[in-house]
Amino acid sequence: MFVDKEKYFEIDDFEKFDVEALYTTKDIGNIDTLFKDEEKSGENIYKCFGKKDSVVIYAKQTHTNKVIDIDEKTDKYFYEEVDGFISKRKDVVLMTQYADCLPIFLYDKVNHVIGVCHSGWKGSFQEIGIKTIELMEEKYSSSRENILVALGIGISCEKYEVGVEFYENFKNNFSKEIVENSFKFFEDDNKWHFDNTEFNRLNLIKNGILSENIIVSKECTYKNNRFHSFRRDKNSMRNAGMIFFK
């Protein structure tokens, strides 16, 4: 469950494993100002979330399906062509940024691997969530039945209108069941709408993630003015999705 903590929403299902997974609201401040500066980011993580001596691993949203492992040899902190991270390191805060796209948070309950990835429609089409899981398997021998996944917070289907070519592209590349349940035709605006959260939920289940291990947010970045939304506001302000060991 996503729990409202005012400045951020916390996923309490991860708490029992001493993992903090959260999504910020506007109240936390400007994401770039607080966390992109390597010298100040650790201090601000402590002020905002109470984690001491942290190293912030920060990604600019570029809509790729590239996910990397942050291991003990990693000495780079800001990535422009990466949209997801995994790690076993106890000192890092993995952070990606959003303004309607879907954050996907992951935790391997057995091998103690955390992950987060940025899944806009391009990332979803390229199955970045599955790519993240595959990297967890490759690097840390994770098993899919042991991975906890949280989807959200992002734009709702109601507010995510798309073109016919967009719909047809997904229809030609994914199963009928997934497409029929993640696209809806709204007669009031005569357009297709995309449910990015449901698409990822169904695709994760199809690829071996247990349905009972998937947590879904019902919040919408567009409808709730507490979040930054590019479709609503047409600006460059961003929310942060982050995960770290407590």
Q: Are residues 212 and 177 in the same domain?
A: no
Rounded to 10°, the helix 128-140/196-206 angle is 40
pLDDT score recorded for residue 37: 77
Structure tokens at 120: 């806009």
- 53 and 125 in a single domain? The answer is yes
Residue 127 confidence (pLDDT)? 98
Clarify whether residues 57 and 40 are in a common domain.
Answer: yes
- If asked whether residues 43 and 74 sit together in one domain, one would say yes
pLDDT (0 to 100) of residue 31: 84
pLDDT of residue 244: 98
Domain that holds residue 202: 2-155+196-245
Q: What is the pLDDT of residues 9-46, one digit of tens each?
A: 999 999 999 999 999 999 998 888 888 777 788 899 99
- Residue 211 CA to residue 74 CA, distance in Å, equals 33
Number of structural domains found in the chain: 2
* Residue, of 131 and 52, whose pLDDT is higher: 131
- The single-letter code of the amino acid at 201 is R
Q: What CA–CA distance (Å, rounded) separates 57 from 95? A: 6
Whether the CB-CB separation of 136 and 128 falls below 8 Å is answered with no
Give CA–CA dist 88/123, Å, rounded.
23
CB atoms within 10 A of CB 203: 18
Predicted confidence (pLDDT) per residue in 163-174, tens digit: 999 999 999 999
Provide the 8-state DSSP code for 235.
Answer: S
What are 63-118's pLDDT values in tens digits?
Answer: 999 999 999 999 889 998 999 999 999 999 999 999 999 999 999 999 999 999 99
| Model confidence band, residue 202 (pLDDT cutoffs 50, 70, 90) | very high
pLDDT in tens, 124-159: 999 999 999 999 999 999 999 999 999 999 999 999
CATH number at residue 25: 3.60.140.10
46 and 24 share one domain: yes
Residues 100 and 215 in one domain: yes
Q: What is the pLDDT of residue 36?
A: 75
Name the nearest CA neighbour of 135 among 94, 194, 196, 178. 94
Rg (CA), the chain: 17
Q: So what's the pLDDT on residue 140?
A: 98
Residues forming a β-bridge with 240 = 97
Report cis status (omega within 30 of 0) of the bond before 11. Answer: no
**Pair (26, 135) in one structural domain:** yes
Residue 141, judged by CB atoms within 10 A of its CB (0-12, 13-18, 19+), counts as: exposed
Shared domain check, 94 and 187 = no
pTM of the model: 0.97
Q: Are residues 190 and 204 in the same domain?
A: no
The reported pLDDT for the residue numbered 130 is 98
Are 212 and 235 part of one and the same domain?
yes
Indicate if 119 and 165 belong to the same structural domain. Answer: no
Angle at 199 between CA 197 and CA 203, to 5 degrees: 120
What's the whole-number mean pLDDT along residues 223-238?
Answer: 94
pLDDT for the residue numbered 38: 78
106 and 121, same domain (yes or no): yes
Helices (H) and strands (E) in the chain, counts: 8, 16
